[in-house]
Amino acid sequence: MLTCCSPRCLRIRHLAPGEDGPLRRVFAGLSRRSRYLRYQRAAPLLATSTVTALVRLQPGTHEALVAEVDDEPVGIARWIRSHADAQLAEIAVEVVDAEQGRGIGGLLAGAAARGARDAGVDYLTFWVHAEHGRLRQRLLRLGATPVADEPGQFRLSPRALLTADRGFAAPDSVDGIVIR
């Protein structure tokens, strides 16, 4: 995690509808392995149709956040409300390899969970690759339940994520500096 004595500054802000630059830069900062774990394939590029869908944002339904270190995008989190069940939203987080393990993913997940909760979402759905054991175990410790008919899918309330002991706390501010 970036600390107050670090010369670098972390900011989490909302991604604007259609703003694809940060998404593309974060994707470029993922290793082949990270792309495989996040997207279920190690594609060298995101398809244009995928980028378009991911930045087709709509407040209260599909929101995205970007984490920037010294104005450089290093992580993205998004939540998308289910069309079938308005109380359910899928959440996804990715952090460039060079910044993994510093708490940025947890801050992004917390900020996304807070936004989903504030929009009336009762449960978050996480799709977690079978080989991503560390994240699966972390979600289970938080009380997530595996979805029986969907391998790799876990459900957790935003409240459970936000009240976790550590690692998923929502930052005090979105669209502002949160850690120096």
CA–CA dist 162, 127 (Å, integer): 19
For the chain, the domains span 10-179
CA distance 139 to 118: 21
Architecture of the domain spanning 10-179:
3-Layer(aba) Sandwich (3.40)
pLDDT at 58: 94
One DSSP character per residue, 103-165 reads SHHHHHHHHHHHHHHHTT--EEEEE--TT-HHHHHHHHHTT-EE-TTSTTEEEE-HHHHHTSS
CA R_g for the chain: 15
Residues in the chain predicted with pLDDT less than 70, given as ranges, are 1-7, 165-180
d(C-alpha 36, C-alpha 42), whole Å: 4
pTM for the predicted model, two decimal places: 0.86
Percent of all residues in the chain with a pLDDT value above 70, rounded to a whole number? 87
